[in-house]
Structure 1
Amino acid sequence: PQFNGSMGIGIDEKKLASRLRLHPEKDRDFVPLPEPLLRKYISYARSYVTPRVSEPAAVVLRKYYLNLRAHSTCSDGTPITARQLESLVRLAEARARVDLREEVTEQDANDVVEIMNESLYDKYVDEHGCVDYARSGGMSQQKEAKRLMSALNKQSELQQKDQFSRAV
């Protein structure tokens, strides 16, 4: 399937990145929070703010998750499981917690969908703009190297040899 930037979910508001970017004229007087105050803010949010997902937010997350699952079943790649839904919910709760809100709004859910789209785009979209879940890459290079060494050690034991030659 073609990647349309929202995986079938329409987001009416401006993109998250543009909302977070400082405007040269409007935000001319912007001063970031001092580090000690920022630490206290984060500590307070973690300790005292426990957002619950509102129904409109749940609808957005559910719809997005089901859309992801539908796309993953038609390819041979990584399956989309309930863990992805759980992570969507946790991200949406964190997004609301940043604003010290007790309820996850629909906009929070849309922001999380946008973040997830960006991460999926980086990982799964090929050079032609098509979603390919098989591009998940599988093993890391370190795991592949360990697996190669393990196979070489096993072959060495079977053939009772310490050296290998490369046949061309």
Structure 2
Amino acid sequence: MRKTMLLLLMALFFCAGMAQKSQIKMNFYKTWVGLKDSTEVEGVLYQVTDTSIVLTQSLLVKDYLMDSIQLKNLHCKWIETIQTKRKNAVGRGALIGAACGFFVGAMVGFTDGDDENSIVFFSAEEKALLGGFTGAIAGAGIGVLLGSFKLSIPINRDQKKFRDTQFKLKKRALIHQ
């Protein structure tokens, strides 16, 4: 029983240690901008200024390092709505949800203990494994659901509304000012 608990904790710390990366990391936020003429512009949120947002099309880090990106400037007087979502948010949500679900399910199964005087006998370790897999499936589903949401900001071509939401947008931009 203690051996299984120790293995679960070691696996958790191993996964957390492997999550550390030493590479350059850029958080890309895919952005959809609805314009006043009912068209939509899609790109990566690059920068937010006082009166406009700047989008780019590239999702490759090497393009930003080599400064070979094309920028599109959209003035707030043209913008109806802005929707933004982090790149790979659905996959990240599924992984985090599955890991949390597995951990919670395993802990619930493990604390239930061994079966005694029953038709079907399961040990605490077997219950932990079954509970972990069941929790992982449920957690992945919840993670996919939560990761699929977009942040939607109505601007309605109003500069005051744009300035009120600048803080939210600047947190998601590649270039912070």
Q: Shorter-normalised TM-score: what interval?
A: under 0.3
Report the TM-score when normalising by structure 1. Answer: 0.27
Which has the larger strand fraction? Answer: 2
Which has the larger helix fraction? Answer: 1
Report the TM-score when normalising by structure 2. Answer: 0.26
